[in-house]
Each structure stands twice: as C-alpha cells, then as structure tokens.
C-alpha cells in the first residue's frame, strides 16, 4: 500500500509540474502578438505619457487580505446552503456518499488545454457511431471539466461541444495582465462559461442526477493541497442563482493554472466562521480522476460500481521529437511537457492495473502520435478544429479506444 501511495505521489508531482504547460508552450511575446490583450483592444491608441520619476510612480493596489481559518475549519467546511456540494477527492468516505445507486459505465476526461478538442470531437463522433453509452458517472478535470457537463447530458448537447472547441481563440480564454495573482486574467473564460452553462443546462443535469447518474468535477484546494470532488448534479438540483454561480466557479477553478491563471475563491463556512477557500486547477493532483487512490490500490475494501471504465486523454502519451532553442521559456516548456506525459502514462498504467484486478473493462483513447497539424499558438482555432475532426472520425469509426495501454517507455 505504501509503495502504491508513493507512486501516486510521484504522479501528482509530475502533474503539478506540468500545470504551466498550457501557457508555457508559447512565449509571452507570442501571446501578446496573438491579440489577447483585451485592455489594448478596448481603447484607441494614445500617445505615451512621459515616464514618472520613481518616487512618483504608484504601486498597484494589493488584493484584500484573506479571512484566516484553521486546518480544523478546512476539514469540515461546507458551502453555505449547499452542504452536499462536494467531498474530499482522497477520502473513501466522502467519495462513497457520491456514488451512483446502480452500476454502469464510467467516463473520465483528462486535462489538456486546447487538446480538449480531442475529447469533444471523440464524444461527438461516438454519437454518430450509434454506440455511445449513457454513463453512470462522468468525471472531468481542467479542460475535461469543461467537456464533462455536455458529455454527461448526451447527444442533444453535441453541437454545444462542437462550438466550445472549434470556434474559440486565445482571446476567449485569457487576456494579458490585469491581476496581481497571475500572469494572465481569465475573465474571458469566465464570461464564456457563463454564456454556455445556462439555467436550462443545469435543469437538465439536475434531472439526470435525480435518475441516479453522477457528474463529478475536480478542483484543487490550494489551502489544504487536497483534491476536491464536486457533485455537480447535487449542486444543479438545488437550483437558483447561488447554485448557478457555484457551478460556474467550479468549472473556472478546475481550469485555473496557479500562477498563470488566477485562483477562484469559493465561499465556505465551518465552526460558526465564514471564509473563502482558494481553488485552482484539478490536474495539480492528477491528470484525470476516477476515485480516491486507496480505492484503486490492491487491497481496496470498496469496489467501484463500474461495469466499464472509459478514459479519454486529451493529449499524447509519448513525446514528439523536438529540439528546443536556447531560450528559457522554450526549455521550460519542453521539460513541463515531458513531466505531463510522464504523469499521464503513470496514471494510465495504474488505473489499467486497478481495472484488471477489479475485473472491470478498460477502454483508453488518446491523441495519436501521428497527429502533426501545426499550431500557431495557444488555442489556435485551426489546430483545434483539425484535432476535433480527427477525433470525431475515430469515434464514428469505432477506432478511438483500445482495451489496454500501448507499450510505453
């Protein structure tokens, strides 16, 4: 058990190192050239004002101090008025409360930034094959969290999936500057989520939740360092403005890469105190999520109620050949990319081994190493559409999934 836990820790470390990959793959100067500085877009160009003397320069206003709370508070904290909204992702007890009442197929969607176009396209193509299951559980992390609600609701939301991953650009995801807590501001992504995740969508999710199906999204609580699993169906079932706002916050938080994108602050209460927790990208702890690691270990005491496990990896499992130029950002990008792929490979092998022990069918899909469409930068719409179309064909023709991982280094 200890060896298994140590292995999972190494996987989480690799995933954490790779969280910066999305932005690190393109140097800052290139991102500016992509026109993602919305502040510059909103106003006409003005003559540059004379530089102020150092003594006259104003320092940016610091963000307000956070309300302090303790480890004991964090352990038992709940979301006001929605106490069944979430549980710890590493707790068998908490996860057990979210399990569906009946067994069925499960779908796990990984992180991957713009490569989420792969998972979206595969799901849409899967519908066209006529063999797409209705999943008892759908889990999503980071870009997988953005796919998950639409994949959970079935074919009637396929067109929304298509739009979400073939009609956006970097300008729809982030802008340069504007916040003290990160290099980029994600107000464009926040607005996009608010437009696409509507009250009607929440009502549909709530209806499926009442049927016994489960939609789960993972964030990382940066205060505790632990994964948090959000029961999105239970949140939707509460209805109202508070539930809709929380739903939006969770999807944004699960995609918020620390230091690059600002964290999301979520209201909580415990022991008579009210405070805000800091949440960020779910891939800090793992590239994708199925269950607490203890439930996947050889001596697990609880069996997952899954008849089959489908894992969609939004990325490649093996590295392409690449000679980085002698530039810090490019060298860092290469190292982080390799770390991400190591974490993916490790978790793929571990979950496959767990499924084999539990006699649960395992089905894995990932971006082919032969896919080589050029990307001009972060969230390049031509690249994303090409990847979406390739995945849709794989899903339609029934060739996306394999029953065991490929031979990996």
What is the tens place of the pLDDT at every residue in 68-94?
A: 999 999 999 999 999 999 999 999 999
Pure H helices in 187-327: 187-196, 199-210, 232-238, 240-254
What percent of the chain lies above the pLDDT cut of 70?
Answer: 85
Whole-model pTM? Answer: 0.86
Residue 85, judged by CB atoms within 10 A of its CB (0-12, 13-18, 19+), counts as: buried
Give the C-alpha distances (Å, rounded to integers) separating 383 from 35, 140, 148, 386.
17, 22, 21, 5
Q: What is the mean pLDDT of the chain?
A: 87
Kindly give the interhelix angle for 143-153 and 116-129, rounded to the nearest 10 degrees. Answer: 20
Residue 140's contacts (CB-CB under 8 Å, 6 or more residues apart) are: 108, 109, 146, 147, 148, 149, 151, 216, 217, 218, 254
Q: What is the arithmetic mean of pLDDT over 94-108?
A: 96
Beta carbons of 341 and 315 less than 8 angstroms apart: yes
Place 96 in a pLDDT band, splitting at 50, 70 and 90: very high
Of 226, 233, 216, which Cα lies nearest the Cα of 280? 226
pLDDT of residue 52: 41
Residue 173, both tokens: 């995801």
Q: What is the pLDDT of residues 179-207, one digit of tens each?
A: 889 999 999 999 999 999 999 999 999 99
Place 409 in a pLDDT band, splitting at 50, 70 and 90: low
Of 343, 325, 207, 358, which Cα lies nearest the Cα of 284? 343
């Amino acid at each position: 058990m200890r060896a298994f836990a140590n292995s999972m820790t190494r996987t989480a470390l690799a995933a954490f190192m790779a969280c910066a990959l999305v932005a690190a793959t393109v140097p800052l100067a290139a991102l500016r050239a992509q026109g993602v500085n919305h502040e510059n877009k909103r106003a006409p160009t003005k003559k540059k004002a004379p530089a102020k003397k150092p003594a006259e320069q104003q320092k940016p206003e610091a963000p307000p101090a956070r309300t302090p709370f303790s480890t004991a508070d964090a352990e038992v904290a709940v979301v006001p008025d929605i106490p069944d909204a979430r549980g710890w992702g590493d707790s068998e007890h908490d996860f057990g409360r979210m399990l569906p009442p009946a067994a069925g197929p499960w779908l796990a969607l990984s992180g991957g930034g713009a490569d989420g176009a792969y998972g979206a396209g595969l799901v849409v193509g899967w519908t066209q094959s006529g063999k797409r299951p209705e999943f008892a559980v759908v889990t999503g992390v980071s870009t997988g969290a953005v796919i998950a609600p639409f994949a959970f609701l079935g074919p009637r939301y396929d067109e929304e999936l298509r739009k979400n991953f073939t009609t956006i650009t970097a300008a729809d995801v982030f802008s340069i500057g504007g916040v003290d807590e990160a290099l980029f501001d994600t107000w464009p992504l926040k607005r996009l989520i608010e437009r696409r995740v509507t009250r009607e969508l929440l009502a549909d999710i709530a209806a499926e939740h009442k049927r016994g199906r489960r939609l789960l999204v993972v964030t990382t609580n940066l205060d505790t360092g632990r994964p948090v699993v959000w029961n999105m169906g239970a949140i939707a079932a509460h209805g109202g403005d508070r539930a809709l706002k929380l739903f939006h916050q969770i999807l944004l938080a699960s995609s918020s890469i620390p230091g690059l994108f600002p964290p999301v602050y979520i209201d909580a209460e415990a022991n008579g105190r009210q405070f805000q927790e800091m949440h960020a990208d779910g891939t800090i702890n793992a590239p994708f999520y199925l269950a607490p690691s203890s439930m996947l270990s050889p001596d697990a005491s609880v069996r997952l109620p899954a008849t089959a496990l489908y894992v969609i990896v939004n990325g490649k499992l093996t590295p392409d050949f690449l000679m980085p130029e002698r530039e810090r950002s490019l060298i860092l990008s290469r190292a982080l990319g390799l770390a991400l792929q190591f974490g993916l490979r490790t978790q793929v092998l571990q979950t496959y081994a767990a499924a084999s022990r539990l006699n649960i069918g395992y089905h894995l899909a990932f971006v082919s190493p032969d896919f080589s469409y050029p990307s001009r930068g972060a969230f390049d719409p031509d690249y994303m559409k090409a990847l979406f179309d390739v995945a849709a064909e794989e899903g339609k023709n029934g060739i996306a999934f394999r029953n065991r991982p490929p031979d990996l280094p």
